[in-house]
Amino acid sequence: MLSIDLQGKHALVAGVADDVGFGFAIAKALASAGAIVSVATWPPALGIFKTMLERGKFDESLALPDGSKMTFAKIYPLDAEFDSLEDAPPELRDNRRYRDAGDFSIAGLAAAVGADFGGQLDIVVHSLANGSEVKKPLMETSRKGYLSALSASAYSMVSMVRHMSPVMRRGGSFVSLSYMASQRVVPGYGGGMSSAKAALESDTRVLAYEAGRGWGHRVNVISAGPYASRAASAIGFIQQMVDYAKRNSPLPEALTAEEVGATAAFLSSPLASGITGTTVYVDKGYHAMGVAVDQPTLG
């Protein structure tokens, strides 16, 4: 029987702070396939996340298909807007939510993972995005807000591939998460986030070449359909997008986080050894549609 087998693989999922988003679903899928999983969490959310884990609030979500419970080998602090700790302003480093986190930069994460796993890392998942002005139309977005969205949501992937590649075993896998707004207009998804997702997909192709030639690593991105995670709720109209996509997709049903997780596990496995530099759509086929079919003239 052909199956996804990640036994003996070590995975790092960056961007997990609760049990309902794509990051958690990907971590669970990797663990279900046998991988040892660590996560990286934004420092302001780190304490709450650890407390919820310790108190058993996520126990139901942590249950794996074989009846065991997913555990995280390590939980690291990460603010992916900073390549090195020196890049973070002093006032942020002294902030009570950051000062005890240690080196929360991407370089700090790579150093910690390298020390903990001794170059035995195989899979890195970039489940990171932030747009401080996401509710603003593009023409009302400030330069600072636009560049911040690109920094947190796109350049962070470039930095992670650069810093993490040397601490991974040859032939590793990188996977990130995009959204169809990279290719088509989604009114209301503003603040430079559509530009950031377009950059992320373009960078995936270049990174696939550079990381492939340098370390034999593969780099792919999943373009997921709308999903009502806590992070996506910041957009303000995510449920309307979910309902619209469900009505107008070839498969007229809501996307699940588990479907994205399963795709990430496949892309991270030997079964996908020939796939790199690719944007994989996991959206019930919505991206293929040219017109809405919930209108009376086409119904």
Tell me the catalytic residues.
Answer: 179, 189
Any idea what DSSP says for residue 9? -
Task: Supply the DSSP string of 148-217, one letter for each residue.
Answer: HHHIIIIIHHHHHHHHHGGGEEEEEEEEEEE-GGGTS--TT--TTHHHHHHHHHHHHHHHHHHHHHHH--
Q: What are the φ and ψ backbone dihedral angles of 254, each rounded to 5 degrees?
A: -75, 145
Give bridge partners of residue 220 from the DSSP assignment: 175
Q: How far apart are the C-alpha atoms of 199 and 178, rounded to whole Å?
A: 10
252: tokens are: 């007229």
Q: What are the residues whose beta carbons fall under 8 Å from the beta carbon of 129, sequence distance 6 or more?
A: 15, 152, 153, 177, 193, 196, 197, 231
CA angle 23, 28, 33 (to 5 degrees): 130
CB 151 within 8 A of CB 97: no
**257 three-state secondary structure:** helix
